[in-house]
Structure 1
Amino acid sequence: MLVLTRRANESIVIGDDITVTILAVTPGGVRIGIDAPRDTRINRAEIVVAVSDANQEALQTAADSSAESLLLAALAGRGTTP
């Protein structure tokens, strides 16, 4: 990981088309501005993690539900009820 020190109104350039500017530094956090092409996706890390976790949970729920349905169908085919 590259670590840089920047002050308010200073920038860093990433590649040819992304500029990150420090807008303000306060005790509560740092405000940054990102100038990038419209087709560049920019997300906060915690949002990416939350979406990934939700997708994994949904996938697991679907897999559990599907397995349960298959088991019930197999039992029903044998004339057995759970």
Structure 2
Amino acid sequence: MLALSRKKDEAIIINDDIEITIIEIKGDQVKLGISAPKSVPIYRKEVYAQILDSNKEAASSVDVKSLNQLFKK
């Protein structure tokens, strides 16, 4: 993991097209501004974990035999 120090209004660039700027620092919270192409999904980590869990749950409830029958037609 790369650890960087930044002050308010300073930024980092990732891969030429993603910019992360420190917008505000209040106590132990940091507000980030993220500028990225629309094709790049951006999630908070806890939201992304919920998405992964939902996808795993949905995939595990699929009846493979029934799905195979659909493709045979």
TM category (shorter chain) comes to 0.7 to 0.9
RMSD: 2.0
Q: Which amino acid aligns with 1:40?
A: V
**Which residue in 2 is equivalent to 1:29?**
29
**Which residue in 2 is equivalent to 1:46?**
46
Shift of 1:55: 2.4
- Structure with greater proportional helix content: 1
State the secondary structure of the residue aligned to 1:48: helix
**Count of aligned pairs:** 65
**Which residue in 1 is equivalent to 2:66?**
none
State the secondary structure of the residue aligned to 2:50: helix
* Structure 2 length-normalised TM: 0.74
Shift of 1:53: 1.4
Q: Which has the higher contact order (CA 8 A, sep 6+)?
A: 2
* Structure 1 length-normalised TM: 0.67
Alpha-carbon displacement from aligned partner over 1:26-57 (angstroms, at most 9, x marks no partner): 11411000111111111111111111112223
Distance across 2 between alignment mates of 1:36 and 1:56:
27
Unaligned runs of 5+ in 2: 64-73
**Identity of paired residues, percent?**
38
Unaligned runs of 5+ in 1: 67-82
Distance across 2 between alignment mates of 1:29 and 1:38:
26
Structure 1 runs of 4+ aligned residues shifted over 6 Å read none
